[in-house]
Amino acid sequence: MAIHPAVRPQTEAAATPIAGDTPRDGLAGAFLDQEASRFFYRWGGELSSILIRIRARFDGDLDQYLLYLIFLLAELSQVVLRADIAARGGRQPAWTHRGMNALSLADITRIPRETARRKLQSLVADGYLVRDSDGLYYLGDRYGLDAFFSDLRPLFWDSLLPQRP
């Protein structure tokens, strides 16, 4: 599998062009390749730091975070839908929390069903999720979209741009 020149070290990128790519010449090409490498180095460092913090928040279990992330994304999909409807001047639908069962979550995440069920129970015990009388799991109040965006903010483009004087 070929690696795009922007993510290869400069010497390898210059020595090994990819078919169909326009070779970068001179100082501009070297600067662009160097800046891309710096960007991905900073981004990877930020991602590692974020995963370490999130892992600690979820008792060292990133699978729990992955399960919880499915609920956050379902919540975020409603925010996006409502913004789209508002932009078109439409009438806002009632806000609904989407309930999911352990089998569906196991299928989505590819975590074995019994393992997913146990992890979901832990998320309920810790207040991240609630389980209703219908047997479905719903987003809890412990960690919502604001905390999600706060945790991931270092990965957003603006915080990774080179600092200009």
DSSP string, 33-102: HHHHHHHHHHHHHHHHHHHHHHHHHTTT-HHHHHHHHHHHHHHHHHHHHHHHHHHTTPPPPPP-PPPB-H
Q: What is the largest CA-CA distance in the chain?
A: 66
Top-confidence residue, 5 or 76: 76
**By the 8 A CB rule, do 111 and 63 touch?**
yes
pLDDT value at position 154?
A: 81
Write down the pLDDT at residue 92: 83
Residue 49 has pLDDT above 80, yes or no: yes
Tokens of 38: 């710096």
Is the pLDDT score of 113 beyond 60?
Answer: yes
pTM: 0.67
Which of 14-18, 68-72, 159-163 shows the highest mean pLDDT? 68-72
